[in-house]
Amino acid sequence: MNTHKITIKVLVTLTLMMAAFTISAQDSLETRISPDRSLSLELFGAHNTVGINYDSRLSGNSGWGYRVGIGYGYSESSYFSFASYNIHGIAVPLEINYLLGSGSHHLELGFGASLGFYWEKARANSYFAPYGNHDYGKYDIYYKRRTFGYFMFGNVGYRLQTKRGFQFRVGITPSVNFGDKYCLQREWLYPYLSFGWRL
């Protein structure tokens, strides 16, 4: 099956699940414990560089929940001295997650997708020997473009949620790549560090 079609189906499923979770939480608010909601600053992880997250449980401070964020990502690479590439942009990570544990300490497990618009820039030097001359010349290959990009990610980490409202998260974000033209290449494992506060 076409990887682009698979990607669209996964993204639609995630969006529908998040909407269903929100409606379910609102419909049963009278019979459940008020859900914890928080706002946090995250470094690396699903944001690549830095971002802000809104996180909500369906009930209390554990179990099922979701996270929506907005962040800025930047990546640069070079190949020896003759080629360079960088990409940066704004993205929105969407995640469905589950917290195991009780009290203030939790194991955090999640799965989601990051959707964004990115600016790519690449430059490479090509060398050639002019006919009848042993002196080498060079010219630049250069391109710059704007593009939509996405990647799928997981989430495995530790979450501290104190009674006073302080939140601390640390863990790793494994990436999943389907290999189509819009899927961003990134490190397979990416660490994250987050500080937040209950709303």
Domains of the chain with bracketed CATH: 3-76+88-116+147-198 (2.40.160.20)
CA dist list (Å): 109 to 23, 65, 133, 137: 22, 10, 63, 54
For the residues 65-78, what does the mean pLDDT come to?
Answer: 88
For the residues 11-32, what does the mean pLDDT come to?
Answer: 54
Place of tokens 């997250």: 53
User: What pLDDT sits at residue 29?
Assistant: 44
CA separation for the pair 53, 103 (Å, rounded): 22
Q: Is the pLDDT of residue 25 over 70?
A: no
Instruction: Identify the band that residue 17 occupies on the pLDDT scale cut at 50, 70 and 90.
Output: low
CA separation for the pair 43, 51 (Å, rounded): 7
User: What pLDDT sits at residue 31?
Assistant: 40
For the residues 40-66, what does the mean pLDDT come to?
Answer: 92
Q: How high is the mean pLDDT of the chain?
A: 80
Instruction: Identify the band that residue 21 occupies on the pLDDT scale cut at 50, 70 and 90.
Output: low
Q: Is 89 helix (H, G, I), strand (E, B) or coil?
A: strand
The fraction of the chain above a pLDDT of 70, given in percent, is: 72
- pLDDT tens digit string along 98-136? 999 888 899 999 999 999 999 988 877 665 555 555 555
User: Which residues are within 8 A (CB) of 102 and not within 5 positions of it... i.e. 6 or more apart?
Assistant: 62
Q: Is the pLDDT of residue 185 over 90?
A: no
Give 175's Cβ-side CA count (13 Å radius). Answer: 22
User: Most distant CA pair in the chain: distance in Å?
Assistant: 87
Instruction: Identify the band that residue 87 occupies on the pLDDT scale cut at 50, 70 and 90.
Output: confident
Cα angle for residues 37, 43, 49 (degrees, 5° grid): 125
The answer to whether 97 and 48 are in contact (CB under 8 A) is no
CA separation for the pair 68, 46 (Å, rounded): 11
Nearest to 63 by CA among 95, 100, 92, 34: 100
**Residue of 5 and 72 predicted with greater confidence:** 72
Q: Is the pLDDT of residue 15 over 70?
A: no
